[in-house]
């Protein structure tokens, strides 16, 4: 299979790129649908080396600047 994991498996976590201007980082992010969202949680992306996962949904975030 030549498809990436994200396209072949819709349940695969997506990596969301965030910038320092987006901090403080919370999940779900403002552009995410609220009808199916979990409680908002703030994620310490800077303290975790620039990458962090949401403990509720598993969404992955990466600081790019």
Task: Indicate the domain borders of the chain.
Answer: 14-63
Report the pLDDT value the prediction gives residue 24, as an integer from 0 to 100. Answer: 94
Report the pLDDT value the prediction gives residue 34, as an integer from 0 to 100. Answer: 75
Contact 60, 16 (CB under 8 A): yes
Q: Which of 10, 19, 28, 31 shows the shortest CA–CA distance to 65? A: 19
Tell me: domain 14-63, CATH 2.60.260, correct?
yes
Cα 5 from chain centre: 16
The model's pLDDT over 8-52, given as tens digits with 9 standing for 90+, comes to: 444 455 799 999 999 999 999 877 877 778 999 999 999 878 999
| Claim: this prediction has a pTM higher than 0.85 | no
Cα 59 from chain centre: 4
């Amino acid at each position: 299979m030549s498809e990436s994991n994200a396209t072949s498996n819709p349940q695969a976590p997506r990596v969301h790129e965030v910038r320092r201007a987006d901090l403080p980082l919370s999940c779900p992010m403002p552009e995410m649908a609220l009808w199916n969202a979990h409680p908002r949680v703030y994620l310490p992306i800077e303290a975790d080396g620039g990458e962090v996962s949401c403990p509720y949904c598993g969404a992955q975030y990466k600081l790019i600047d």
